[in-house]
Structure formats: C-alpha cells, structure tokens
Structure 1
Amino acid sequence: MEAQVAAVCQNIESLLQQLQNEGVLDEQFQQLMQLQDDTNPDFVAEVVQLYFEDSVQKIDRMGAMLNSPVPDFKELDQLVHQFKGSSASLGAATIAQLCIKMREGCQTQNQQMCLMLLGQLRDSYLLLKGKLDTFMSLEHQRKQLLANLGR
C-alpha cells in the first residue's frame, strides 16, 4: 500500500513538472499546493473547481460579446482583466499571457485579434482543464490510499 501511495505521489509530481516545463502552469500552482494541509485537505481541488466554473462563464461571455456587431471593448477588457487575475492566481501562465494580449486587442478595439485570441484561450483552457482533471483524479486516488492506511 505504501508503494502505491509513493507511485501516485510520483505521478502527481511528474505531471506538475511537465506542466511547468511546458509553461502551462507556473510556480504559483506549487504555492497553492503548499497551502493545503490536514486542516484544509481539499483546498487545491476546491480552488481548481471554482476556477473551472468561473472560466467557462467568462469564456462564454467573451464569445457572446465579441460576436455582437459592435462589441463593448471596455466591458470586454474588464472581463479579460478578471480572467487574467484568476488565471494568474491559479498559476495558469499560458492563459494569463493570452489575456494580456487580448487586453491589448481590447484597447485597440481589434475585434479580429480578440476573436483569434479567444480561440487560443479556449484551446489553452481545455488543455489545462484536461491536465488538471488528471491531477485531481490522482490527488483523489492519493487521498483514498492514505485513508485506507488510516492516515
């Protein structure tokens, strides 16, 4: 059983290292993980779940705004700014960088640029979600094994 826990922990570390090497996540995610302890064992899972729910709404809203004949770029910029902040807080480096570029598109009122970047944001979000779903599954498995060991 101990070997299984060690193997799952190794898989988690490998996944996070890969995501950091690819620039998908930065050190901020590691800092979030350090905030998780016995008093708050589901902290990271809760933060990730909230980020997923919030992100889908924001991306959908951006799409709706950009598909209107005359987008409100000021409102869109505020929404992108919020998304950048939540992404940076999670450690979603690629998404935060795309938001910075999209804010430039908002400031120049370049609808085509913003639409292109929104597509990249969607793709990056789906990639991140897939990887973090794997992380959450491994984390759940780790907790189950530890519970079976009485820890």
Structure 2
Amino acid sequence: MEAQVANVNQAIDSLLQQLENEGVLDEQFQQLLQLQDDSNPDFVAEVVQLYFEDSVQKIERMGAMLSSAPPDFKELDQLVHQFKGSSASLGAATIAQLCIKLREGCQTQNQQMCLALLGQLRDAYCLLKNKLDIFMGLEQQRKQLLAGMAR
C-alpha cells in the first residue's frame, strides 16, 4: 500500500512539475497546496472547482460581449481584469498572461485582437482544466489509499 501511495505522489509531483515547466501553472499553485492540511484536506480541490465554475461563466460572457456590435470594451476590460485576478490567484500563469494581452485589446478597442485572444484563452482554459482534472483524480486516489492504510 505504501508503494502505491509513493507512486501516486510521484505522479502528482511529475504532473505539477510538467505544468510548471510548460508555464501553465506557476509557484502560486504550490503555495495553495501548502495551505492544505489535515484540518482542510479538500482545500485545493474546492478552490479549483470554484475557479472552474467561475471561469466558464466569465469566458462565455466574454464571448457574448465580443459578438455584440460594438462591444462594450470598458465592461469587457473589467471582466477580463477579474478573470486575470482569479487566474493569478490559482497560479494559472498562461491564462493570466493572456488576460493581460486581452486587456490591451480592450484598451485599444481592437475587436479582432480580442476575439483571437479569447480563442487562445479558451484553449488554455481547456488544457488547464484537463490537467487539473487529472491532478484531482490523483489526489482522490491518494486520499483513498491513505484512508485504507489508516484502517
């Protein structure tokens, strides 16, 4: 059983290292992991889940705003600013960087640039979600193994 836990821990470490190397996540995500302890064992899973729920709504709203003519760039900029903040808080580095570029597009009122960046943002979000879903599955597996060992 201990070997299984070690294998799962290794898989988690490898996945997080890969995501950091690729610039998908930054050290902020590691700091979130350090906040998780026995008194709050699901902290990271809860933060990630809230981020995903919030992100889907924001991305859909950005798309709707950009499909109207002309878009309200000021309102869009505020929404992108919020999304950048929540992404940076999670450690979603790629998404936060794309938000910075998207805000530049809002400030220059460049609808085509904003649409192109929104497409990149959607892709980056899907990649992050897929990878963090794997992470959450591994975390769940680790908890089950540890619970089995405690019996």
Give me the whole-angstrom Cα distance separating, in 2, the residues matched to 1:53 and 1:11.
26
Q: Distance in 2 between matches of 1:147 and 1:78?
A: 44
Q: Deviations over 1:118-142 (max 9, x none)?
A: 0000000000000000000000000
Task: Name the structure 2 match of 1:58.
Answer: 58
Map 1:41-52; keep pairs closer than 5 Å: 41-52=41-52
SS in 2 for 1:149: helix
Q: Report the Cα offset of residue 69 of structure 1.
A: 1.1
Match of 2:81 in 1: 81
Equivalent residue, structure 2, for 1:95:
95
Distance 2:147 2:52 in 1: 27
SS in structure 1 of the partner of residue 116 of structure 2: helix
Whole-angstrom distance in 2 between the partners of 1:90 and 1:106: 23
Runs (4+) of structure 1 exceeding 2 A deviation are: none
Matched residues, percent identical?
A: 85
Q: Distance in 2 between matches of 1:69 and 1:24?
A: 33
Residue matched to 1:69: 69
TM-score by length of 1: 0.99
Deviation at 1:36, TM superposition (A): 0.1
Map 1:1-151 → 2, pairs under 5 A:
1-150=1-150
**Quick one: distance in 2 between partners of 1:142 and 1:99?**
34
Question: Shift of the alpha carbon at 1:112?
Answer: 0.3
Identify unmatched segments of 5+ residues in structure 2: none
**Which residue identity lines up with residue 141 of structure 2 in the other structure?**
Q
Aligned CA RMSD, in angstroms, stands at 0.6
Return the offset for 1:76: 0.1
CA drift of 1:109 comes to 0.3
Q: CA deviation at 1:63?
A: 0.1
- Structure 1: where are the runs of 5+ without partners? none
Q: Distance between the aligned counterparts of 1:46 and 1:144, measured in 2?
A: 17
The alignment covers a number of residue pairs equal to 151
Measure how far apart 1:29 and its partner are.
Answer: 0.2
What letter is aligned with 1:135?
A: F
